[in-house]
Amino acid sequence: MTEINSTAAGLSSAEAIRLQQQYGRNELIPQKKEGFINKVFHIICEPMFLLLIAAAVIYFILGEPRDGAIMLIFVLGIISIDVIQEWKTDKTLKALKDLSAPQITVIRDGRETTIASTELVPGDVMLIHEGIKIPADGLVLKCSDLCVDESTLTGEAECVWKLSRENAEPSADYWRKDYCYAGTLVTQGSGLILVDKIGAQTEYGKIGTSVAAAPAEPTPLQKQTGKLVKTCAGIAGILFALVGLVTYLNIPDHKLGDRLIESILSGITLAMAMIPEEFPVILTVFLSMGAWRLAKKKSLVRKLPSVETLGSISVLCVDKTGTITMNQMTVQETWALDGDEHSLIETMGLGCETDAYDPMEKAMLEHCERHGLSKEQLFDGKLVYEYAFTNELKMMGHVWDRNDRLVIAAKGSPERILTLCDLSDTDSENVSQKLEELSKEGLRVIAVAAAELASEDSIPSNLTA
């Protein structure tokens, strides 16, 4: 851990400036912007473009300026397509980056201040809460029911409950419960985090560094076109030599200078037939069409040859979460003890946060909408009281005043929710059987319950009261 003298009171502005000079900005590896001339130069250096330029030069030498100009127009057209495609993709990515530029609240000079996350330094104390994407690695100083989605790093869809460093037990696990990581999302609770690592030193940054350090290898398409160009050039060279020699021998009555010029021109003319001038144009057009189709499916293509590379994949090794699966929870089945599915779904929605970040609550609210209960309909009443979810109770609840009715809606683990319900032996047995049945199907079971209150004076201080 970085040795930084900081407490829950945070840093002073002077210390923050000094530490930023020492550690730099909280950024991943900055992208070096490639100039227009460099982009054009890299495109021209492709074998197919060199072939077209060579063909244009030869046409001019042979006294065919019109054909040479057509070749150059082809070159300019293809370069334009490549540059425009890359420019549009870069523009979109930059817009997305600017749109997602986050801010974070820190304690500096003894008071809460909102700064750009790029200005974070080791030793800062940042305040995180539900919905915040954590911008740096750090130790948990204090937390209240802090739950974090770490699937971007670990691939695990289940959120992790965090503990303060005083309450955490020593563990040999790489991913710590008293530590928060950059790039992860707070789904519930709040916390006070002492920044330890920023930028490329974070676990998230190490991934970016590894990706940036990967060697740039030519794509299969570039290898194939390079091989084709060499083959065509080799055959053209042989034809040039043979035709030139045959022509030289067939015109013995010409002067030596005229024989040489005639032989060279004849050899070049036949060799030109071996140059596939149309191939680069057709290839670029079809790759551009592929990139356009991918863009319609919300996939950005920066380099056109990657379209062909993607189509050449025979085996794709990926992490399951978020790739083969969608990293999204969905409600698969509902069951009501009294058979009233509509009331069950309504209670489930009322038990969720009005602005949900937890994947499970999002899935529940989406299920409500699919059954005709929008957020506006669910939350059209007054939220009177809230019972926060805790890792110990494993349940939460809301008290709503809706249509002159005071209703408690609670949800959580079945074991805890059932302790709040007054069920007969028969009902308890039915519930237990259904729980076992759903669990055997591999489903995550959440129980919901509701009760009406006579007045606000009768609202219990906690769910177990």
Kindly state whether residues 353 and 259 are assigned to the same domain: no
What CATH number does the domain containing 152 carry?
Answer: 2.70.150.10
Over 60: is that where the pLDDT of 322 sits?
Answer: no
At 404, the pLDDT band (50, 70, 90 cuts) reads: confident
Tokens 């001019």 identify what position? Answer: 60
3-state helix/strand/coil string of 325-380? CCCCCCCCCCCCCCCCHHHHHHHHHHCCCCCCCCHHHHHHHHHHHHCCCCHHHHCC
Residues 6 or more apart whose Cβ sits within 8 Å of residue 138 = 126, 179, 180, 193, 194, 195, 196, 197
For residues 101 and 225, give the distance between their C-alpha atoms in angstroms, rounded to a whole number: 40
Q: Among 211, 244, 274, which residue terminates a domain?
A: 211
Catalytic residue among 109, 258, 319, 427: 319
At 312, the pLDDT band (50, 70, 90 cuts) reads: confident
Kindly state whether residues 125 and 77 are assigned to the same domain: no
Kindly state whether residues 18 and 134 are assigned to the same domain: yes
Structure tokens at 376: 């506006």
Kindly state whether residues 76 and 132 are assigned to the same domain: no
| Range from 154-168, 240-254, 260-274, 412-426 carrying the lowest mean pLDDT | 260-274
| Greater model confidence, 71 or 275 | 71
- Determine the pLDDT at residue 97: 60
Long-range CB pairs of 160-166, under 8 A, 24+ apart, other chains included: 161/391, 162/189, 162/191, 164/140, 165/139, 165/140, 165/141
Kindly state whether residues 197 and 139 are assigned to the same domain: yes
- Determine the pLDDT at residue 5: 47
- Determine the pLDDT at residue 368: 94
Kindly state whether residues 21 and 135 are assigned to the same domain: yes
CB 153 within 8 A of CB 184: yes
Stretch (H or E) spanning 450: strand 447-453
Over 50: is that where the pLDDT of 379 sits?
Answer: yes
Kindly state whether residues 58 and 140 are assigned to the same domain: no
Domain tally for the chain? Answer: 3
At 448, the pLDDT band (50, 70, 90 cuts) reads: very high
| Greater model confidence, 345 or 1 | 345
Tokens 């473009």 identify what position? Answer: 49
For residue 428, being part of any structural domain is answered with yes
> What number of residues does the chain have?
465
Domain that includes residue 50, residue range:
36-91+218-311
Mean pLDDT for all residues in the chain:
82
Residue in 284, 249, 287 with CA at minimum distance from that of residue 266: 249
Kindly state whether residues 301 and 223 are assigned to the same domain: yes
- Determine the pLDDT at residue 32: 59
| Greater model confidence, 48 or 292 | 292
Residues 6 or more apart whose Cβ sits within 8 Å of residue 106 = 10, 112, 113, 114, 115, 120, 124, 125, 126, 127
- Strands 185-197 and 160-161 turn out to be unpaired
For residue 114, being part of any structural domain is answered with no
- Determine the pLDDT at residue 4: 46
| Range from 6-10, 167-171, 178-182, 337-341 carrying the lowest mean pLDDT | 6-10
What CATH number does the domain containing 381 carry?
Answer: 3.40.1110.10
Torsions phi, psi of 399, nearest 5?
-105, 120
For residue 152, being part of any structural domain is answered with yes
Kindly state whether residues 236 and 203 are assigned to the same domain: no
Residues 239-254 have a mean pLDDT of: 84
Over 50: is that where the pLDDT of 3 sits?
Answer: no
For residue 136, being part of any structural domain is answered with yes
Q: Which neighbouring-strand residues pair with 40?
A: none
| Range from 66-70, 183-187, 348-352, 405-409 carrying the lowest mean pLDDT | 66-70
For residue 320, being part of any structural domain is answered with no
Distances (CA, A) of 325 to 44, 95, 268, 321: 41, 28, 58, 5
- Determine the pLDDT at residue 344: 93
For residue 351, being part of any structural domain is answered with yes
| Range from 44-58, 100-114, 381-395 carrying the lowest mean pLDDT | 44-58
Give the strand order in the sheet containing 405-412.
382-387, 395-402, 405-412, 447-453
3-state helix/strand/coil string of 108-170? ECCEEEEEEHHHCCCCCEEEEECCCECCCEEEEEEEEEEEEECHHHHCCCCCEECCCCCCCCC
Kindly state whether residues 352 and 432 are assigned to the same domain: yes
Q: What three-state secondary structure class fits 238? A: helix
At 212, the pLDDT band (50, 70, 90 cuts) reads: low
Chain centroid, CA 165 distance in Å? 30
| Greater model confidence, 57 or 25 | 25
For residue 424, being part of any structural domain is answered with yes
Per cent of the chain over pLDDT 90 is 26
Q: Which neighbouring-strand residues pair with 250?
A: none
Tokens 């790759």 identify what position? Answer: 287
Kindly state whether residues 77 and 207 are assigned to the same domain: no
For residue 334, being part of any structural domain is answered with no
232 CB burial (10 A radius; 0-12, 13-18, 19+): middle
Most confident among 6-10, 229-233, 435-439 (mean pLDDT): 435-439
Q: Among 311, 332, 362, which residue terminates a domain?
A: 311
Q: Among 211, 227, 258, which residue terminates a domain?
A: 211
Stretch (H or E) spanning 106: strand 103-108
- Determine the pLDDT at residue 115: 92
For residues 19 and 54, give the distance between their C-alpha atoms in angstroms, rounded to a whole number: 56
For residues 209 and 224, give the distance between their C-alpha atoms in angstroms, rounded to a whole number: 30
Kindly state whether residues 140 and 17 are assigned to the same domain: yes
Whether 319 is catalytic is yes
Over 50: is that where the pLDDT of 93 sits?
Answer: yes
- Determine the pLDDT at residue 249: 85
